[in-house]
Amino acid sequence: MAIRKEIEKIHARNARVEADKAWEISWTRRLLIATITYILATALLVWIRAPQPFLAAWVPTVGYLLSTLTLPFAKQWWLKHRQV
């Protein structure tokens, strides 16, 4: 009976880990962070009276989204070339 409970705990932990992984790479998370980035960048640019704050706020937002697209390739390269 104790082994069965341990196996159930392992399955529950694996399910949580898989859900966390899915969240980390989800487009919902990326778009939520991009939206927050745009809002905060816009607010800061308006506050400092920068020219065209609504347009300029796209720079960090697009930069973030591009970084999320290139990181999986970098991760695969790193995993392939890392020293264990």
Confidence label for 69 from pLDDT (cuts 50, 70 and 90): confident
Residue 1 has pLDDT above 90, yes or no: no
Rounded to an integer, what distance in angstroms lies between the CA atom of residue 59 and that of residue 55? 8
Q: Which amino acid is at 46?
A: V
Q: Please tell me the distance from the alpha carbon of residue 67 to that of residue 42, in angstroms, as a whole number.
A: 20
- Signed CA dihedral, 30, 36, 38, 44: sign only: negative
26 φ/ψ sector (left φ>0, alpha ψ -120 to 50, else beta): beta
For the stretch 5-50, pLDDT in tens is 999 999 999 999 999 999 998 999 999 999 999 999 999 999 999 9
Q: Residue ranges of the domains in the chain?
A: 2-81
Written as six digits, the tokens of 70 are 């290139």
Q: Which whole-number Å values give the CA distances from 51 to 10, 36, 40, 60, in the listed order?
A: 55, 20, 16, 16
